[in-house]
Structure 1
Amino acid sequence: MGRVIGFELNSQEPEKAAEFYAKVFGWEIATPHWNYWALTTGDDKKLGINGGIGKGPHDFPFGTRIQIEVDSIDEAISKAKESGAIIVRDKMEFDEFYLAYMVDPTGLGFGIIQNK
């Protein structure tokens, strides 16, 4: 079962957005890594998820995407495509995880992530 483990806020002014969410909601903003500011939205002992803010790419310049953790990113991509999803960004490798972005058949964007 895929579980939502995070969210991404895409903005063309990520630093300004980070300042806004820190001021309004008290979120902790990490030092940027790969032009991405990790967000801590509260105490890990309480129900909720963390996320991040980044400069939105050309294919998703503004908006929010959830990140769904899967056991096998290759299998999840295959099942999603078979069910009508479109790959926006195919499997990418990062230090600790793999990540891909897709759009479901109704037009909603989402990310899938597999930890290494």
Structure 2
Amino acid sequence: MGKVIGFELNSQEPEKAAKFYSTVFGWEIAEPHWDYREISTGKDTQDGMNGGIAKGPHDYPHGTRIQIEVDSINTAISNAKNNGAIIVRDKMEFDHFYLAYLVDPTGLGFALIQKK
């Protein structure tokens, strides 16, 4: 099976994207190397994945929506909005989790998930 072990966010404003994710989620983002910034999303002892932010090429200028698990979806939505995000779909309830879709200040889509 193909297990997802990372991600890449493509943006035409990678500096702005890096500042947003660092501020909202506390991600550690390295200095750019060839327009790519490595991201550490947590301690290596935690479950999760790491990835990077890159300046998207002309034929794929913006990245793929990712799902970010949070302890409190209400707090995360509020914090994201306060840092320039736009809500695409507000908090929705499902059997085992809550889900919301947002777009960050650079146009990248992402999802927030809170387990019940």
TM-score of the two chains, using structure 2 as the length reference: 0.53
* Aligned mates of 1:30, 1:53 — CA distance in 2: 10
2: distance between equivalents of 1:65 and 1:25?
16
In the alignment, the residues of structure 2 paired with residue 58 and residue 49 of structure 1 have an alpha-carbon distance, to the nearest angstrom, of 27
**Greater strand content:** 1
**In 1, Cα distance between the equivalents of 2:37 and 2:64?**
14
RMSD (Å), alpha carbons: 1.5
**By how many angstroms is 1:6 displaced?**
0.5
- Determine the C-alpha separation between the residues in 2 that align with 1:4 and 1:42: 16
1:43 aligned onto 2:43 = yes
The equivalent residue for 2:19 is 19
Runs of 4+ in 1 over 3 A off after TM superposition: none
Pairwise CA distance, 1:2: 2.3
Amino acid at match of 2:17: A
Measure the CA separation in 1 of the matches of 2:30 and 2:61.
Answer: 21
The CA distance in 2 between the partners of 1:64 and 1:6, in whole Å, is 12
Which runs of no fewer than 5 residues in structure 1 stay unpaired? 67-116
Partner residue, 1:29: 29
Q: TM-score, normalised by structure 1?
A: 0.53
Residue identity matched to 2:23: K
Counterpart mapping for 1:1-116 below 5 A: 1-64=1-64
Secondary structure (helix, strand or coil) at the match of 2:18 reads helix
